[in-house]
Structure 1
């Protein structure tokens, strides 16, 4: 007990104390001794000086500080704002008792037995942001650098307080020689309301926690703690909060490890969209009689509403047990991605201890259905009632009758009771616990344990003195008492209870101190070490009076497989089923499939639309042993037939099924030159950009249930398809092989099968197609990645992105911000990075490669702060960011929009009116309308812009940013310009035949080619002289055709590439090539030489497997694809096997040597003194030529 004195320092001179009437004076010298021991601890913190108390707990002195303010009171205009740090106070602030709990509805759980232990024991107030610290006194005096455990309470984010007696940290601090801290945070709408208003941005409660953790970290050394040894621990919503801190870039660096008790942020109900929170706010507004016309007026009303009414109003029309009234959101501040994506992206490494309880669901069903399960109720629960409850529990999933029957059978088959009520009470308890806590915890751990240490437990101990009804078992939250060691100091508890409490608190403290629960003193711990959880072993500790390790062989893991793999595939019966009645489906639903070595057992049921083939599940053999009979009426006139066929499948041809961040996908297997490849075509990576999303930035695809078949191309993005090249031999390779539509955001992957099976961590090359930002598709046969993947033992991916106005329209309206096509690419690259490990790839070994507009796109990803950290290196083929044709101003794009509006008969008075019309226009008409009045040479309709989001700097400035380091391999074809002469001036440049071109015509065409530069006759003559002086031909047409080809190629592609390389090579490795090879079987006219895009055929290795290819074609293809693959794998094209490569190494391009690699049948290095460099007509030279020259 602490003895407190009020300014009694003169006691040493006046020791007379009147004890009681009848006694005179007694001198108590020992009192002075107690005073010295119990002197109030005073500590100077970053926010001011505080005074606490000292308590003795089992002969250990503990400094206790309660109610330390860490933030400004969130009142008035700060009610829904992010927390602000407390200002420093003067004097000494007394922190000896709890101050308040955050505003909440305190009688929400009054009907629940034992709820008193969860009730707040202080005033309820909005001024509630305080924290508490319990620290061994000796630690402060000796600067012991102890570990600190920081507690975050649960309460469904609507209730709770650090002031609860259950969370008193003195016992844990004393028994484990550790510092314990706890904190308050805002709950309900005060902590999680989110509107389109900076005064209520969302996640305020999580940011309250962050600010408190930061305060503790900044000050814990003064209490005897080590700021680098902080462990967060929390239960239920507190556990979800802890896991959010593990994931948040704002929080995860300010603590060392985490203990997560019965809750995880990856559950569907732990997070909500901003729109979902707004809908809930409108319900609350209806209760409060607040206007809902817009967020501002609604929030103005909330700011003036009574706090207690707000607490009540959050529950208005709210009935879903598996959601919070107001939940955390992705706010791009505290939380930047969905939790599941963060975990799968492996963005954080943090040791965690994580667990759940045996009967997590029992408390949930009492809360949700008190009329059936509250104490002293005896209302029967039959199958019909239970199934209704089950549907509510599993919202928003819509369960059909077959699924409900399968759940009841799976959970109820081992329940030994004649009481229907007891049976369904048990089933509902287990279902609620599994879907809300256990399975999300297991699924998180499977992924997280691939890159961090994970220790998992199941708490299964129930003491005899438990206040909750026996049927509730080991209920949600009952482990908290044991973790806080309070039971150790109470004589009423049995030795067994104290044993479990000592064991659990020791494990927690050991983990907090070292990251390993086995390190440290624990006389009551299991003799068997607590093994790490891994995806292979999936071991966890069962905490009971006889603790033991359990593994994935237990039924718990089977149950989670049932929820994720089997249940989504069960369909309603399409025919009557035999039984006691036509509607009685009580048959053994669990034997739908079983794996036997390399054989599959298929069960064909009439209500399954196709054979149901599932992955192996541990429980299937057990089930098979207990099968009686499965009577199914197949059709009228037949009796009962059970069709079980054991089919031996070709192991190599078995369809690959992969779990991705967005759901499961089922691909195909193909064999290319004896190499097996997994092929996945048409994987969706974004929401369909249709309707109001037509011109918006892409949004991530929502996770689908079941298995999505990805065996064929789905769509190409909306565009105008030209028939210009239909008659050219080989044009089929360039044709789109899918429907053209706006729902087009899909990607494709070709991966060696062995890479997936052996987790080879292969490099991945991601292809971005060209097409002038107006056309193109990943579905073209030319871009089939199987040949490159097989020949180079590499993974190849490709993607679709929106083109034309759908991808690049930009107006002064957030519904069409511009650069949507580039952001489509960015989102696809992220998806590939997040998932490529499941295909056998290494997410840190991604190479982007693209041609023409695809190459421009790649170079923009190299520059963009949103993309450049997603991949390792880049291959840029015939196109760069700094080319004049590659980018436009906002004004330029807007002018083009007005031309398109004229074609579509849309108003142009304002951007809003114009866009409203565009949103309702026919997609095909838009694809045509973008070209309206577009007559310039290679003037493209809609282009990327500097949007200060994806692109933040003009090309030349971006290239000079030496902070960006990215190795690039880049190049061009020998005759880049010829294709554009053919497409722009078809009246002169025919595919077959010749039209004469004289001096006058050539000058006219040259002016078009060089637009918008205005050339005078002197400048034109100089160009023709420089380019034509070495052409020995008596044909004017051939000479001018060659000059125009070279000028177009140099100005559009070659010179921008060299300029890019000169600047880029000062801070990164650059390799340049010129593709000079022309095949003897080229479909293009001879005058076109090696045209724009002709290198693609060789890069994708198609020539290796085409019978019409010559031996030279195959050598060039082997060389080209090997160089590209080598660069992708190592950053150096010379590293790796390449039998057909040049004996001369491919040298880096530098500003001094400016060497490049000429790829031909006899490849060789060239340097800046070759004619290719001499023919560059520098813009400065043009300025020297005057009209009178």
Structure 2
């Protein structure tokens, strides 16, 4: 008798368990047609509906703006990631991806009843405007940008977007013939598509946040500054990059276009003929021509201090249209967006290690000349006056016989400040100065690196924030410790609260400490790591260095280089 009762309990429990699953969307009607995704169970009464590979625009023409998708009949099975946009591989020996790449992925959290009116977070990936995809590198299991954990824990819809990169995304002649910024237009098309369609998925079209890392963060910054996005989204988050970063704007697009033309056999004295030739060229060849030319740069660096920054050639341009003016003059366009921005404490370390390899060598000796050499490379436009003034600022804390580690860390700091931290601080200040009722928040992420083999002084490497934000310590628990799960939980809470309310401390998620806003005259920032407490709020981030670059350095006269301009003509 007991066994029968037991069996009955088990059977009934099983039936109950099945009915205890969360709601799911099933088939959703979008402007292009019907789509069906897949439901992933996350816990009791909780799941995430995942739609992969929904087209937001038609296959784009070469160096043309994206056009609306013609739509489809029947039900589009949205269960597989689509190709990334055509790009070089990481090792740059070949290309991958396709010209047919304007797709996005949607992650919708569900409870017992169907979600409605959720905040929407649209993610733009990084990759130097040269590579990357919305479903980038799978680290043990799901892709790094898999939005399930963030959607489930934060109660937000997460969307990841593809856009054109490299030659096909950013080639420009600097005029109306090839205006450039095609990758930015793709992002804008995706944001517009989300605005028009997300309600059918349970999202609130009036509460959209765009966020991104590195070149994706610079892209978010450009989307805030462009007049085309007025009223399209409400908030923005930039992680390790802004439009003001020196690598985020191509100031001499025509010179780069001529270089690409040379490589694919399209050199012509007549520019129109050159463009005609480029338009007929094979996309794979064009993409390969846009790869980072390490050899050329290494030989150059012997002649003139080459810097990694000079390798990153593809970037948005001031086209007089999407980006009507210098980025620093466009912050009036961003006045209505709530804005959160920050950097990783060692964002520049990986780049500094290429420019000054001795900083990562156990017995490597980094000399005063190495430090000065790096400064020469970074401050080319100002000539020698800048080098000595920058050197005195950065070596001020050394004392008479500095520890080798101190000198090495200074090299990493110089590159972090110049490429990431100072531009971000300027962007925060400009946002706060121009803001009309919108809020501004600043952070510094300094969790110690998990990358083995780096020196002890290395804190948070470029891109190391992403694994925590996307909840990897929860989805692949075996490779992380509890402290990593703490950090991941904090970040998801702050980010999704911000998306929900415009204030990272208020929303559905409990946070360890309130995060005060950054204002015109008051500059607090949150230090993000696994131990966030009252003392994690600090003020005036690296203000001496920010002041040096923004005031002393920028007031130095720029030197005109005749021979360079001759070369370009």
Compute the TM-score of the two structures, normalised by the length of structure 1. Answer: 0.41
Superposed CA deviations along residues 746-773 of structure 1, whole A, max 9, x for unmatched, are xxxxxxxxxxxxxxxxxxxxxxxxxxxx
Superposed CA deviations along residues 778-830 of structure 1, whole A, max 9, x for unmatched, are xxxxxxxxxxxxxxxxxxxxxxxxxxxxxxxxxxxxxxxxxxxxxxxxxxxxx
Counterpart selection for 1:89 from 72, 75, 99: 72
C-alpha contact 1:81 1:199 (8 A) present in aligned 2: no
SS at match of 1:472: coil
C-alpha contact 1:360 1:474 (8 A) present in aligned 2: yes
Aligned residue runs from structure 1 range 613-762, under 5 A: none
Superposed CA deviations along residues 662-720 of structure 1, whole A, max 9, x for unmatched, are xxxxxxxxxxxxxxxxxxxxxxxxxxxxxxxxxxxxxxxxxx679xxxxxxxxxxxxxx
Name 1:1095's counterpart in structure 2.
none
Cα distance 1:367–1:50, how it changes in 2: closer, same or farther (>3 A)?
A: farther
C-alpha contact 1:359 1:476 (8 A) present in aligned 2: yes
List alignment gaps of at least 5 residues for structure 1.
1-28, 111-118, 571-703, 707-1189
Aligned residue runs from structure 1 range 472-487, under 5 A: 472-487=458-473
Cα distance 1:301–1:320, how it changes in 2: closer, same or farther (>3 A)?
A: farther
Aligned residue runs from structure 1 range 207-218, under 5 A: 207-218=185-196
C-alpha contact 1:236 1:263 (8 A) present in aligned 2: yes
- Residue 98 of structure 2 corresponds to residue 125 of structure 1: yes
Cα distance 1:368–1:81, how it changes in 2: closer, same or farther (>3 A)?
A: farther
- Residue 383 of structure 2 corresponds to residue 398 of structure 1: yes
Residue 149 of structure 1 and its aligned partner are, at CA, apart by 0.6
Aligned residue runs from structure 1 range 314-353, under 5 A: 314=290, 315-316=292-293, 317=296, 320-323=307-310, 324-343=312-331, 345=332, 348-353=335-340
**Matches of 1:415 and 1:305, distance apart in 2:** 57
Residue 567 of structure 1 and its aligned partner are, at CA, apart by 4.5
**Matches of 2:66 and 2:448, distance apart in 1:** 40
Name 1:952's counterpart in structure 2.
none
**Matches of 1:99 and 1:439, distance apart in 2:** 37
Counterpart selection for 1:229 from 195, 207, 210: 207
Name 2:256's counterpart in structure 1.
280
Residue 180 of structure 1 and its aligned partner are, at CA, apart by 0.2
Superposed CA deviations along residues 47-79 of structure 1, whole A, max 9, x for unmatched, are 1111111111244211101111111112xxx12
Residue 124 of structure 1 and its aligned partner are, at CA, apart by 1.5
Superposed CA deviations along residues 825-845 of structure 1, whole A, max 9, x for unmatched, are xxxxxxxxxxxxxxxxxxxxx
Name 1:542's counterpart in structure 2.
527
C-alpha contact 1:372 1:379 (8 A) present in aligned 2: yes
C-alpha contact 1:82 1:201 (8 A) present in aligned 2: no
Name 2:475's counterpart in structure 1.
489
- Residue 262 of structure 2 corresponds to residue 290 of structure 1: no
Cα distance 1:468–1:223, how it changes in 2: closer, same or farther (>3 A)?
A: farther
C-alpha contact 1:67 1:98 (8 A) present in aligned 2: yes
Aligned residue runs from structure 1 range 45-60, under 5 A: 45-59=30-44, 60=46
Name 2:445's counterpart in structure 1.
459
Superposed CA deviations along residues 520-542 of structure 1, whole A, max 9, x for unmatched, are 2444x333x21111132211111
Residue 246 of structure 1 and its aligned partner are, at CA, apart by 0.8
C-alpha contact 2:226 2:333 (8 A) present in aligned 1: no
**Matches of 1:102 and 1:414, distance apart in 2:** 52
Instruction: From the CA coordinates, give the structure whose radius of gyration is larger.
Output: 1
Cα distance 1:79–1:253, how it changes in 2: closer, same or farther (>3 A)?
A: same
C-alpha contact 1:195 1:295 (8 A) present in aligned 2: no
- Residue 539 of structure 2 corresponds to residue 559 of structure 1: no
SS at match of 2:543: helix
**Matches of 2:359 and 2:132, distance apart in 1:** 23
Cα distance 1:552–1:176, how it changes in 2: closer, same or farther (>3 A)?
A: closer
**Matches of 1:472 and 1:220, distance apart in 2:** 41
Name 2:566's counterpart in structure 1.
none
Superposed CA deviations along residues 224-264 of structure 1, whole A, max 9, x for unmatched, are 10000100000111111111111111123210100111111
RMSD: 3.1
**Matches of 2:261 and 2:540, distance apart in 1:** 50
Superposed CA deviations along residues 184-222 of structure 1, whole A, max 9, x for unmatched, are 001111111112675632110000000011111111111
Aligned residue runs from structure 1 range 1048-1067, under 5 A: none
Cα distance 1:44–1:199, how it changes in 2: closer, same or farther (>3 A)?
A: farther
Superposed CA deviations along residues 1135-1167 of structure 1, whole A, max 9, x for unmatched, are xxxxxxxxxxxxxxxxxxxxxxxxxxxxxxxxx
Bigger shift: residues 165-174 or 536-545:
536-545
Counterpart selection for 1:444 from 427, 432, 437: 427
**Matches of 2:85 and 2:63, distance apart in 1:** 13
C-alpha contact 1:415 1:423 (8 A) present in aligned 2: no
**Matches of 1:346 and 1:331, distance apart in 2:** 16
Residue 423 of structure 1 and its aligned partner are, at CA, apart by 3.9
Superposed CA deviations along residues 483-511 of structure 1, whole A, max 9, x for unmatched, are 11221233322221111110111000000
Name 2:563's counterpart in structure 1.
none
Counterpart selection for 2:29 from 44, 68, 78: 44
**Matches of 1:356 and 1:253, distance apart in 2:** 27
SS at match of 1:167: coil
C-alpha contact 1:81 1:198 (8 A) present in aligned 2: no
C-alpha contact 1:457 1:541 (8 A) present in aligned 2: yes
Cα distance 1:413–1:431, how it changes in 2: closer, same or farther (>3 A)?
A: farther
Residue 477 of structure 1 and its aligned partner are, at CA, apart by 1.1
- Residue 225 of structure 2 corresponds to residue 247 of structure 1: yes
Cα distance 1:37–1:497, how it changes in 2: closer, same or farther (>3 A)?
A: closer
- Residue 124 of structure 2 corresponds to residue 152 of structure 1: yes
**Matches of 1:553 and 1:239, distance apart in 2:** 22
Residue 81 of structure 1 and its aligned partner are, at CA, apart by 0.9
**Matches of 1:486 and 1:290, distance apart in 2:** 46
**Matches of 1:472 and 1:398, distance apart in 2:** 30
Residue 476 of structure 1 and its aligned partner are, at CA, apart by 1.2
C-alpha contact 1:346 1:448 (8 A) present in aligned 2: no
SS at match of 2:548: helix
- Residue 408 of structure 2 corresponds to residue 425 of structure 1: yes
C-alpha contact 2:318 2:326 (8 A) present in aligned 1: yes
- Residue 51 of structure 2 corresponds to residue 65 of structure 1: yes
Name 1:386's counterpart in structure 2.
371
SS at match of 2:395: helix
- Residue 505 of structure 2 corresponds to residue 518 of structure 1: yes
Name 1:303's counterpart in structure 2.
279
Aligned residue runs from structure 1 range 744-783, under 5 A: none
C-alpha contact 1:100 1:127 (8 A) present in aligned 2: yes
SS at match of 1:322: helix
Compute the TM-score of the two structures, normalised by the length of structure 2. Answer: 0.84
Cα distance 1:288–1:260, how it changes in 2: closer, same or farther (>3 A)?
A: same
Divergent runs of 4+, >6 A: 29-32, 34-40
**Matches of 2:397 and 2:66, distance apart in 1:** 46
Name 1:850's counterpart in structure 2.
none
Cα distance 1:127–1:399, how it changes in 2: closer, same or farther (>3 A)?
A: farther
Superposed CA deviations along residues 938-963 of structure 1, whole A, max 9, x for unmatched, are xxxxxxxxxxxxxxxxxxxxxxxxxx
Residue 368 of structure 1 and its aligned partner are, at CA, apart by 4.6
**Matches of 1:415 and 1:535, distance apart in 2:** 40
C-alpha contact 1:154 1:235 (8 A) present in aligned 2: yes
C-alpha contact 2:335 2:431 (8 A) present in aligned 1: no
SS at match of 2:396: helix
C-alpha contact 2:224 2:334 (8 A) present in aligned 1: no
Residue 137 of structure 1 and its aligned partner are, at CA, apart by 3.4
SS at match of 1:356: strand
